[in-house]
Structure 1
Amino acid sequence: MHQFVTATKAAVAQGNWYAALAIALTMPDICGRIESPSKNPRERFVDWYDRFLLKRYQANIGANRTLHTFLSGLDCYALRCAFLHQGEFGIDDQRAQQALESFHFTIPSQGSFFHVNQFDNVLQLRVDQFCLEVSEAVEQWLVIVAGDKDIQARLAKLASIG
Structure 2
Amino acid sequence: MRLLIDQLEQSLQSGNYYLSLFTALTLPDIAGAMDSEDGVASGAKYNAWYEKWARPRFVDILKESMPEHMREHLSEMENPLDGEACYLFRCSLLHQGRTIHPKNKYSRIIFVEPGATTNTFHYNTMNDALNIDLAIFCKEMILGVRLWLDSVENTELYQKNYQNFVKRHEGGLKPFIVGVPVIG
What TM-score range do you get, normalising by the shorter chain?
A: 0.7 to 0.9
Q: CA deviation at 1:68?
A: 5.6
Structure 1: state its 5+ residue gaps: 59-64
Report the equivalent of 1:105: 111
Give the distance between the partners of 1:40 and 1:146, measured in 2 at CA: 18
Structure 2: state its 5+ residue gaps: 60-74, 169-180
Q: Secondary structure at the match of 2:132?
A: strand
Across the aligned residues of Structure 1 and Structure 2, the Cα RMSD in angstroms comes to 2.2
TM-score, scaled relative to structure 2: 0.75
TM-score, scaled relative to structure 1: 0.84
**8 Å Cα contact 2:58/2:140 also seen in 1:** no
Q: State the identity %.
A: 26
AA matched with 2:96:
Q
Report the equivalent of 1:3: 3
Superposed CA deviations along residues 87-128 of structure 1, whole A, max 9, x for unmatched, are 11112x24xx3x222101111125322211112321111111
Rg larger for: 2
Question: Relative contact order (alpha carbons < 8 A, sep ≥ 6): 1 or 2 greater?
Answer: 1
Report the equivalent of 1:20: 20
Q: Flag as ranges the 4+ runs of structure 1 deviating above 3 A.
A: 37-40, 65-69
Q: Secondary structure at the match of 2:7?
A: helix
Change (3 A) 1:21 1:72: same
Q: CA deviation at 1:37?
A: 4.3
Listed as ranges, the matches of 1:1-162 within 5 Å are 1-38=1-38, 41-56=42-57, 69-91=79-101, 93-94=102-103, 97=104, 99-109=105-115, 111-161=118-168, 162=181
**8 Å Cα contact 2:106/2:130 also seen in 1:** yes
Q: How many residues align?
A: 153
